[in-house]
Amino acid sequence: MKKLSAKSLLKFRMVSKSWKYTIDSDIFGREYGSRQSQTCCFTLKFNVGNEHFMCSADGHMSLSLLNTNFPQTNLTPITTSEGVWCFSFGCNVGAILWNPCLRKFYGIEVPFMPNRPALEKIVWGFGVHPDTLDPTILNISSWLYGDGPLHVLMYTLNSDTWTVLGNDRLPRLDITIKRSCGVAVASSCIFWGCSKSFFNDDGSSYELYMLLSFDLINHQFHVLDIPTQVRNSLPIPFYISNLGNSLVISGNLIHDENRYICAWLLEVGAAVVTSWRVLFVIPSQNIAKLLGFTMEDDPIVEVFSGQEMIHTLQVYDRPSQQFHNVGIEGDGGSFFIGPYKESLILLNV
C-alpha cells in the first residue's frame, strides 16, 4: 500500500476497518513519508482584488482551480513543507495548516501571553520534522520600537500545544528578522533573512545581512553568515526560497543600466553554509520575484507588468532563454507557490 498514491489510500480506507486502522496509524504515515507527485508540479495562490484563488499546476503548466474548503480571506501564506501549507490568520491571531493532496485543513489559535511585547512585530515560521513528519509552527514576537528580548512560541501538531522557548534556544538579541525576505525550509531547518546594524566613526550606520535558522530536530536557533562573495553582490531586497533540500537567495540587480534576476544556491547545515554556487543570472526588462521552480527546475517568477499593482506569472525556459507568460494576472505581492507533495499529514485531524 505504501506504493499507492495518497488519493488512492483515501479510497482504500473505506474497504474495511482493518485497512482504515492501518492507513490511519502514525507508523504507516511516517513510513509513507512525502513524495513528489507524477501529475502535479506545484500549488499556486494569488489574489485579484477581493477574489482569492488556489490552483494546481501539472508538468505542462496547465492550471486547475482547487477548492480549499475554508475561506481564504485574511489568510497570509507563511511557507510550505513536505506538501503542507501554513497560513497566518487575521492579525496574527491564529494559523491554518492545509494539505492540498488530502484536501484537509486544521486551524490553530495563538494563545494570549501576558508577557509578550505590548507593541510587537510578528514573524512566523513553519516546517515539518523530517523524521516524525510533525508540523511545527513558530510565532516570534519582538518589540516594534526599541530593543528587547524575543518571545518565541512553538506549536507542534502531535502535542497540539504551544510552548514558550527558553532563552538558551533563542537567537542573538542584536539581530533583526526581515519579514520581507520570506521563509524557507531546507536541510531540516526553517530559514529567514536577518540583519545586524553597525555604526561608523562618523555616526552613520549600515546593515550586515545574514541568515537565521531554526533546527526542526533540536529546536535551536542559529545565525549564519552569508558567503562574502554572495553578500557583496546581494540585491536589496532579497528573497529566500528552496530548491529541493538546498536554500536559494534571489533578487534583482542593475549593472551598467541592465537589469538581471540573480539567484544563488546554498548548501546549508543548521549553523553554517557549507557551499554555494551561482544558480542563474537572467537578463530581464522588468522587476521579477522568484517564486519557485517547475519539474525541470525552470524558474517561475512574478513579473511587474507595468500596470499599477498588476503582476503576471511567467516561466523562464532555459533552452530558449525566454520568458513565457502562463496567462495569470494578479495583485502584486499576492503570488505564492508551494511545491506539491503527497503525504498523509493531517489525515487524522
Cα–Cα distances (Å) from 329 to 15, 54, 152, in that order, read 43, 13, 37
With 60 as the cut, is the pLDDT of residue 119 above it? no
Residue 342's pLDDT band, with cuts at 50, 70 and 90, is very high
d(CA 31, CA 164): 30
Which residues, 6+ apart, have CB-to-CB distance to 159 below 8 Å? Answer: none
Alpha helix (H) residue ranges in 70-215: none
Tens of pLDDT, residues 147-168: 667 889 999 999 999 999 988 8
What dotted CATH number matches 33-343? 2.120.10.80
pLDDT at position 117 is: 59
Structural domain boundaries of the chain?
Answer: 33-343
Report DSSP state, residue 187.
Answer: T
Other CB atoms within 10 Å distance of the CB of residue 256: 4
Half-sphere exposure of 186 (CA within 13 A, CB side): 24
Q: Which of 136-150, 302-316, 331-345 has the highest mean pLDDT?
A: 331-345
Q: Which of 69-73, 135-139, 154-158, 281-285 has the lowest mean pLDDT?
A: 69-73
Candidates 219, 210, 226, 139; CA nearest to 176 is 210
As given in the structure block, the three cell numbers for residue 16 are 474495511
Cα 146 from chain centre: 28
